Amino acid sequence: MKKQTHTIAYIKRQAKNLKKESGISHNEALESISKTLGYSNWQHCQRTLGQQAVVKVEPVNTQLQLSFTDWLKRHSNRNSPLGDLSSDMMRDNTWPSYNNLEDYRNYLDFKGASWAAIEALGRAWKSYKTYLQIKKSPIANKLRTKTPTPKNHDQRKIVFVRNITPLHCAKRIAEKFNAGDKAWISWDGRKAIPVTILEGDGVHYTFRTERPIKKSGGHHILFLDEVRSTPELACMNRVTS
């Protein structure tokens, strides 16, 4: 009989059964089973099996990382270059799955995409990588979990602003908000939506939308300069990525 086909746990179980059947002590049963399997005694069996190579099993990461393609799909309804990029991607039956920005840029270049589309891709990739970092951060997850949810909806309403000229990204400035502060964002530069700040990471703000009521409570992440303190400023710094 081959020695390496059994484990110490298996031999102990067999000894336990032999003890019940024969009425002998547990040690005697261990000695008997060990000799039956070809070992000199129980100690010899323990030493031999204990020296077998231990196979290291790497822990399984149960939290699958969201792919860039799946992340991009979430932004198809946005009225911005990111939304346009997402819509184009969903219509492209040959859209690839890469793990780096350069390959995606080469793909868009091969497809004859415009300079604006390639620029939107760069900003989208940056936002995607920041999103992954926030998801991985135990501190961010802890803060997000502890953020209290108000019992009543925010009393502010959606504000429509006229005659606003959007600022170029290079001329924008960011405002400082803390968790719980009230702010505004605008997807299209005409309609300002009230939001509540949940947290900031130095690059983005995570916030909860307050209007429309049927869709309130959704969490979003935007660059710092896209979240402002008034409806007018929000429309001037409308979402561009």
**If pLDDT is split at 50, 70 and 90, which confidence band does 16 have?**
confident
Burial class (CB in 10 A: 0-12, 13-18, 19+), 94: exposed
Q: Which of 6-10, 73-77, 85-89, 210-214 has the lowest mean pLDDT?
A: 6-10
Quick: pLDDT tens for 163-210: 888 888 778 888 999 999 999 999 999 999 999 999 988 888 999 999
pLDDT above 70 as % of the chain? 84
What does the mean pLDDT of the chain come to? Answer: 82
pLDDT above 90 as % of the chain? 34
Quick: pLDDT tens for 33-74: 888 888 888 888 877 876 554 444 444 444 567 899 999 998
Helix (H, G, I), strand (E, B) or coil at 17: helix
Q: What per-residue string of b and e applies to 136-174 under the rule 16 or more CB within 10 Å gives b? A: eeeebeeebeebeeeeeebebeebebeebeebeeeebeb
- pTM over 0.75? The answer is no
Q: What per-residue string of b and e applies to 46-72 under the rule 16 or more CB within 10 Å gives b? A: eebbeeeeeeeeeeeeeeeeeebbebb
The answer, yes or no, to whether residue 219 has pLDDT greater than 60, is: yes
Please name every residue paired with 191 in a beta bridge, in sequence order, or none if there are none: 160
Helix (H, G, I), strand (E, B) or coil at 212: coil
The one-character DSSP state at 4 is: G
Are 194 and 184 within 8 A, CB to CB?
Answer: yes
